[in-house]
């Protein structure tokens, strides 16, 4: 009997010791994960800022390479001394009188005639929920 009691006591102590060790490992694990995540974030931000610097440098080179506005200004000044032709607005050849009515307008027109949302949805090949949503939005805009 004493032997079993001592064996049980030793097993309990060993299990408590194992639990404490596992608990400490678990506590240390998130901080390591957090450190690796922080390093990854720093690397990503460093790469992004480096890319931004490169694109800014490239833009500066392009701007400096195309800094010839004085010549173009002088050329436009010479062109303004010439008499401009009389402006004649273009006349539209034919106007399209076929205007498409939006789905919202169609829904509201059919709803005003007294049709139910399910009937409107079936007629316009839309979802019932979509029709109800359009009707609700219209009522909210009116109020």
Q: What is the mean pLDDT of each run of 10 residues along the chain (143 residues)?
A: 91 95 82 82 91 92 74 62 72 68 87 92 90 87 77
Count the neighbouring beta carbons within 10 Å of the beta carbon of residue 117.
20
The pLDDT of residue 74 is 62
- Residue linked to tokens 């097993």: 11
pLDDT in tens, 44-80: 999 989 999 999 999 999 888 876 555 566 666 666 6
Q: What pLDDT is attached to residue 101?
A: 75
On whether the pTM is more than 0.85, the answer is no
* CB neighbour class for 131 (10 Å; exposed up to 12, middle 13-18, buried from 19): buried
| Residue 112, burial from CB neighbour count under 10 angstroms (0-12, 13-18, 19+) | exposed
CB-side neighbour CA atoms (13 Å) of 125: 0
């Amino acid at each position: 009997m004493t032997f079993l009691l001592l064996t049980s006591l030793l097993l309990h102590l060993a299990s408590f010791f194992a639990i404490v060790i596992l608990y400490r490992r678990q506590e240390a694990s998130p901080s390591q994960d957090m450190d690796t995540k922080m390093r990854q974030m720093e690397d990503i931000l460093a790469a992004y800022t480096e890319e931004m610097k490169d694109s800014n440098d490239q833009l500066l080179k392009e701007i400096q390479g195309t800094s010839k506005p004085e010549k173009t200004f002088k050329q436009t000044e010479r062109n303004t001394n010439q008499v401009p032709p009389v402006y004649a607005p273009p006349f539209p050849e034919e106007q399209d009188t076929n205007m498409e009515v939006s789905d919202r307008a169609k829904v509201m027109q059919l709803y005003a005639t007294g049709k139910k949302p399910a009937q409107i949805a079936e007629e316009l090949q839309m979802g019932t929920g979509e029709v109800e949503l359009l009707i609700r939005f219209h009522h909210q805009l009116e109020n």
